[in-house]
Amino acid sequence: MPSYRRRDGRACDQTREIKIQRGFTNAPGSVLISSGDTVALCTASVVDDAPDWMKRDGNVPTRGWITAEYRMLPGSTKQRKPRQDRPDGRATEIQRLIGRSLRAVLDAEALGPRTIYLDCDVLQADGGTRTLCVSGACVALIDAINSIRASLPNPDVYPLRDSVSAVSVGIVEGSPMLDLCYVEDSAAEVDMNVVATGKGRFVEIQGTGEEHSFDDEQLAALLALAKKGTARVAALQREVLADAWPF
């Protein structure tokens, strides 16, 4: 297999150093998370009301909902990124990914008629912002749910069935790589983002041949790397949450 030397000296199957700091803001759940030079702030806020679309035609909701917003702050890139009142196409796609990923493990009835907003703001971007935000948002979400545990419809039934983590993988100069930085991502022949549960089940796989097609063997290699990476992130999430880990 072709050999590619990474600029930071990592092996092909290594993630960058991942750090998670809980309680970074006053929100019920807040996390400052970084993977190498990519840094994001993920917060989870609770509104004790179901979204309006659940209440149409006189419906009285008994279920809850999780939704997400994603932005890259003006100073997150070397050239200033204009501040936007509304998300552009890329941000819309990413925030939908974040919301879908966490709703995949949600027990909406157990949450009750309330809405949890996940706000993910990229402070510094060096590749892998969407996957980092999924992983950080999961920790923030768990802290937010724990803060309202006593007011749940049944406090003995936890509203999440599992944790969620995500990583990027890709093929660079013929070599499968885990957790791509921006330089690697921009040069990748194949680019993929993978979301998985703590038990190792896939939630979402986004894969594209940027410059080349890829075969079954390469796909299997990328998924194996992604499983290894998501498992490492899940272990870190559990370690950081410690006694607050609900599963």
Judged against a pLDDT cut of 50, whether residue 1 lies above it is answered with: no
- Listed by start position, the domains of the chain span 18-244
- Give me the pLDDT at residue 5, please: 80
User: What is the pLDDT averaged over residues 105-130?
Assistant: 97
How far apart, in whole angstroms, are the C-alpha atoms of residue 8 and residue 16?
9
Residue 73, SS3 per DSSP:
coil
Selecting from 3.20.20.150, 3.30.300.20, 3.40.640.10, 3.30.230.70, what CATH number does the domain 18-244 have? Answer: 3.30.230.70
User: What is the pLDDT averaged over residues 166-177?
Assistant: 95
pLDDT tens, 182-227?
999 999 999 999 999 999 999 999 999 977 899 999 999 999 999 9
How far apart, in whole angstroms, are the C-alpha atoms of residue 204 and residue 220?
15
User: What is the pLDDT averaged over residues 99-114?
Assistant: 97
pLDDT tens, 34-76?
999 999 999 999 999 999 999 988 888 999 999 999 998 887 9
Contacts of 237 (CB under 8 A, 6+ apart): 20, 135, 138, 139, 163, 165, 198, 245
* Rg of the chain (C-alpha set): 18
> 116: which strand partners?
46, 66
Judged against a pLDDT cut of 60, whether residue 2 lies above it is answered with: no
What is the CA angle 214-228-23, rounded to 5? 120
Contacts of 100 (CB under 8 A, 6+ apart): 203, 204
Go through 185-194 and write b for each residue having 16 or more CB atoms within 10 A of its CB, e for each that does not: beebbbbbbb
pLDDT tens, 121-137?
999 999 999 999 999 99
